[in-house]
A = this chain, B = another copy of it.
Amino acid sequence: MNNFTFYSPTYFVFGKNTETETGKYVKKFGGTRVLLHYGAGSVVRSGLLDTVKKSLDCENITYVELGGVMPNPRSGLVYQGIDLCRTEKVDFILAIGGGSTIDSAKAIAAGVPYSGDFWDFYQGKNVTEAVKMGTILTISAAGSEGSGDSVITKEEGMFKRATTGDAIRPMFSILNPELTQTLPAYQTACGATDIIAHIFERYFTNTKDVEVTDRLCESLLLTMIKEVPKAMKNPNDYEARANIMWAGMVAHNNIVGVGRDQDWSSHMIEHELSAIYDCAHGAGLAVVFPAWMKYVVDHDVNRFAQVAVRVWGCQMDFVNPKNTALQGIECLQNFLKSINMPSNFAELGAKEEDIPKMANIACFGDNAGGSVGRFVSLKQSDVENIYRLML
Contact residues, A1-43 vs B (CB, 8 A) = 1-9, 11-16, 18
Bound together, the chains give a CA A226 to CA B215 distance in angstroms of 11
B6 touches A14 (CB 8 A): yes
How many angstroms from the CA of A220 to the CA of B16 in the assembled complex? 28
At the interface, yes or no: A331 with Cβ under 8 Å from chain B? no
CA distance A212 to B221 in the complex (A): 9
Give A208-234 as 1s and 0s: 1 = Cβ < 8 Å from B's Cβ atoms: 111111011011101100110000000
Size of the A side of the interface (Cβ < 8 Å), in residues, is 43
The distance in angstroms between the C-alpha atoms of A240 and B242, with both chains bound, is 33
Any B CB within 8 A of the CB of A246 = yes
Point out the residue from B11, B212, B223 that lies within 8 Å of A223, measured CB to CB.
B212
For the complex, give the distance between the alpha carbons of A315 and B246 in Å. Answer: 30
- A220 and B227 in contact (CB under 8 A), knowing A12-B7, A14-B6? no
A44 to B12, CA, bound (A): 40
Contacts of A250 in B (CB 8 A): 212, 216, 255
Assess whether A67 is interfacial by the CB under 8 Å rule. no
- Contact A246-B258, Cβ < 8 Å, known A5-B14, A7-B12, A11-B5: yes
A190 located at the interface, meaning its Cβ lies under 8 Å from any Cβ of chain B in the complex: no
| A295 to B149 Cα, complex, angstroms | 48
A54 and B32 alpha carbons, distance in the complex (Å): 44
Copies of this subunit: 2
Asked if A239 is an interface residue, CB under 8 A from chain B, the answer is: yes
Map CB proximity to B onto A41-55 as digits: 1 under 8 Å, 0 otherwise: 000000000000000
**Interface membership of A197, Cβ < 8 A:** no
* Contact A259–B242 (Cβ < 8 Å): yes
Q: In whole angstroms, how far apart are the Cα atoms of A218 and B240 in the complex? A: 19
Query: Which B residues are in CB contact (< 8 Å) with A211?
Result: 222-223, 226-227, 243
Q: Which residue of B lies closest to A210 (CB)?
A: B243
Q: Is A283 at the interface (CB under 8 A from chain B)?
A: no
Bound-state Cα–Cα, A13 to B8, Å = 12
Of residues A14, A219, A223, A255, which shows the largest number of chain B Cβ atoms within 10 Å of its Cβ? A219
Is A247 part of the contact surface with B, judged by Cβ < 8 Å? yes
A108 to chain B, nearest CB (A): 24
Chain B, Cβ-Cβ closest to A7 = B11
Shortest Cβ distance from A240 into B: residue: B209
List of B residues within 8 angstroms of A6 by Cβ: 11-12, 14
With A215-B223, A219-B219, A243-B212 in contact, is A14–B255 under 8 Å at CB? no
Q: Which residues of B contact A258 (CB under 8 A)?
A: 14, 246
Cβ contact within 8 Å between B5 and A12: yes
Determine the distance from Cα of A15 to Cα of B1 in the docked complex, in whole angstroms. Answer: 8
Most buried by B among A7, A16, A227: A7
Shortest Cβ distance from A1 into B: residue? B242
Other-chain residue from B15, B212, B239 in contact with A208 (beta carbon distance below 8 A): B239
Offer 24 A-B interface pairs, CB within 8 angstroms, sorted by A.
Answer: A1-B15, A1-B177, A1-B242, A1-B243, A2-B15, A3-B14, A3-B16, A4-B14, A4-B15, A6-B12, A7-B12, A8-B8, A8-B9, A208-B239, A209-B243, A211-B222, A211-B226, A212-B244, A212-B250, A216-B216, A219-B219, A246-B259, A250-B255, A255-B255
Seen from chain A, the residues whose Cβ lies within 8 Å of a Cβ on chain B are: 1-9, 11-16, 18, 177, 208-213, 215-216, 218-220, 222-223, 226-227, 239-240, 242-244, 246-247, 250, 255, 258-259
